[in-house]
Amino acid sequence: MMDVSLLTVDAVRKGLAERQFTASALVDAFYRKIAAEDKDIHAYLTLSEERARRQAQAIDDLAAKGDPLPPLAGVPVGIKDVMVTKGIRSTAGSKILENFIPPYDCTAVARLEAAGAIVLGKLNCDEFAMGSSNENSAYGPVRNPRDKSRVPGGSSGGSAAAVAAGMAVATLGSDTGGSIRQPAAFCGVVGLMPTYGRISRYGLIAFASSLDHIGPLTRTVKDAALLLGCIAGRDPLDSTSANVPVPDYARELQKPVQGLKLGVPKEYFAEGLDAEVRASVDSAIAGLKNQGCEIVSISLPHTAYAVPAYYVIATAEASANLARFDGVRYGYRSANPQTLSEMYRRSRDEAFGAEVKRRIMLGTYVLSSGYYDAYYLKAQKVRTLITRDFEEAFTRVDAIVTPTTPTPAFKLGEKTDDPLAMYLADIYTVTGDLAGIPGISVPCGNTKAGLPIGLQILGRHFDESTLLRVARAVEQQR
Ligand code: GLN
């Protein structure tokens, strides 16, 4: 059977239509690939073989009848383990959900399957999506397929690594402060964080509800467009999902970028930016200029306050969201507690990891009376200023281009003793989450040592189309 590692959505469609392979054969080939390669990478936590084979058979039956195939027919996908899947263990990378079998499906997953995609399994991630390197998973780290001594990024490290290693055609990740775009950049794949509200969060295990987004990681920009089109749109099960029409992104993508105004914010090219990353991003921007974009230098003056504001707001919301894990309703329960409160305390102590505990403590502190105004309220005000920076910029430009990350993928263990250094890996991505605007990371080059570099494109609310167009132009430059 063919090499599955470079397949795209279109290639799967073509292969099925021309009877080069069946969906069932494709699923077998992917599971063989995972068996051979995931021992070293550890992208998958759980395989959903029965469910995958059932879905593949359904697609093959449709094809045999000559019925028209749905848009993602037969496309093998993986799902970050923060999205619940009916009957399939969903851990959020935490020991506290080690044996949790959800009774329902996340909307985004249900929509992918309704569009014909085949769920191969659940992907490793930082515990409750807290991290930038995937080293906070209770099940062990993921390794970067491009250099196994390095991290894949986080928290959607398994989602990025699975696509980069050819162990899925596409995956879903989640982004609260950069967790789709940063691992996409580190692994050399495309990662799209849509506008807040564009994709339902129903069935996404909550980290920080006002910042959490689901989005696709793919090999090509077109595949990101195709997946987004299938999962976006209002969902009555999530009151924050927006009732905004969903365009035909794959068609929008074909429009030329000529005449677009692209802002380059000086704050994203300051101290701390790796020289090779800068050179590669600069040359991608020069290429966009050659394709007829107008490059405008801009300023987003409150950028420096984004990481601190993010770590106040995200931890505050996390401390509230994680209160539900008490050993009573689901998940881990400590053995033989003497009292109810001891059962709560020990269950949480034994099953939450160190980073999750750090955030619960920080979040509880910033919300406590006496500190609320000084920290939480102040951070919310800063969030508004950051949002206004973007609103002002988008009166002058159609999109903003920046590096996705200040450095390429770092070594495993390099930042685990220094949470602050780890938090700074998100310095260019947290702003987009705080403002609720969409962002995409597209590969734009490699370092001399062969590590991938990502270009980030940020856009107006609900204008994913422009981001995808610019990303496609960057992809075509390579
Ligand atoms: N690295 C950031 C954090 O640890 C972002 C995580 C995310 O986007 N889920 O919070």
CA of 103 to the centre of ligand 1 (A): 27
pLDDT digits (tens, 9 = 90+) for 13-60: 999 999 999 999 999 999 999 999 999 999 999 999 999 999 999 999
Report whether residue 347 contacts ligand 1, using a CB cutoff of 6 Å: no
**pLDDT at residue 1 above 60?**
no
pLDDT digits (tens, 9 = 90+) for 182-240: 999 999 999 999 999 999 999 999 999 999 999 999 999 999 999 999 999 999 999 99
Is omega for the bond preceding 24 within 30 degrees of 0, making it cis?
A: no
Ligand 1 atom closest to 179 (CA): 8
CA of 176 to the centre of ligand 1 (A): 5
Ligand 1 atom closest to 425 (CA): 1
**Distant-in-sequence, close-in-space partners of 301: CB < 8 Å, separation ≥ 6:** 267, 389
Ligand 1 atom closest to 311 (CA): 10
CA distance 478 to 125: 30
Segment (H or E) for 321: helix 306-321
Ligand 1 atom closest to 426 (CA): 1
Closest residue by Cα to atom 10, ligand 1, is 130
CA distance 123 to 129: 12
At 423 the pLDDT is 87
CA of 302 to the centre of ligand 1 (A): 20
HSE at residue 73, side-chain half, CA atoms within 13 A, is 20
Report whether residue 176 contacts ligand 1, using a CB cutoff of 6 Å: yes
- Of 112-116, 369-373, 460-464, give the lowest mean pLDDT range: 369-373
Report whether residue 159 contacts ligand 1, using a CB cutoff of 6 Å: no
At 356 the pLDDT is 98
pLDDT digits (tens, 9 = 90+) for 120-172: 999 999 999 999 999 999 999 999 999 999 999 999 999 999 999 999 999 99
At 230 the pLDDT is 98
Could you tell me where the beta strands, DSSP code E, fall in 240-293? Answer: 261-265
pLDDT digits (tens, 9 = 90+) for 57-101: 999 999 999 989 999 999 999 999 999 999 999 999 999 999 999
- Arithmetic mean of pLDDT, 441-453: 98
Closest residue by Cα to atom 4, ligand 1, is 131
**pLDDT at residue 325 above 60?**
yes
Ligand 1 atom closest to 130 (CA): 4
- Arithmetic mean of pLDDT, 344-350: 97
Contact predicate 229/249, CB 8 Å: yes
CA of 188 to the centre of ligand 1 (A): 19
Among positive and negative, which fits the CA dihedral 376, 379, 383, 388? positive
Tokens of 372: 């609320």
**pLDDT at residue 257 above 60?**
yes
Ligand 1 atom closest to 156 (CA): 9
What percentage of the chain carries pLDDT values higher than 70?
100
**pLDDT at residue 300 above 80?**
yes
CA of 132 to the centre of ligand 1 (A): 6
CA of 155 to the centre of ligand 1 (A): 6
22-61 burial: b if 16+ Cβ within 10 Å, else e: bbbbbbbbbbebbeebbeebbbbbbbbeebbbebbebbbe
- Arithmetic mean of pLDDT, 353-362: 98
135-154 burial: b if 16+ Cβ within 10 Å, else e: bbbbbebbbbbbbeebbbbb
**Active-site residue list:** 80, 155, 179
Report whether residue 218 contacts ligand 1, using a CB cutoff of 6 Å: no
Report whether residue 93 contacts ligand 1, using a CB cutoff of 6 Å: no
Q: How many CB atoms lie within 10 A of CB 303?
A: 20
Report whether residue 405 contacts ligand 1, using a CB cutoff of 6 Å: no
Report whether residue 175 contacts ligand 1, using a CB cutoff of 6 Å: yes
What percentage of the chain carries pLDDT values higher than 90?
96
At 201 the pLDDT is 98
**Residue 266 banded pLDDT, cuts 50, 70, 90:** very high
**Residue 455 banded pLDDT, cuts 50, 70, 90:** very high
Report whether residue 280 contacts ligand 1, using a CB cutoff of 6 Å: no
**pLDDT at residue 2 above 80?**
no
**Residue 421 banded pLDDT, cuts 50, 70, 90:** confident
The percent helix, strand, coil of the chain (3-state, each to 5) is 45, 15, 40
CA of 51 to the centre of ligand 1 (A): 30
Q: Which of 132, 322, 433 to mutate to test the pocket of ligand 1 (most atoms within 8 A of CB)?
A: 132
CA distance 71 to 12: 11
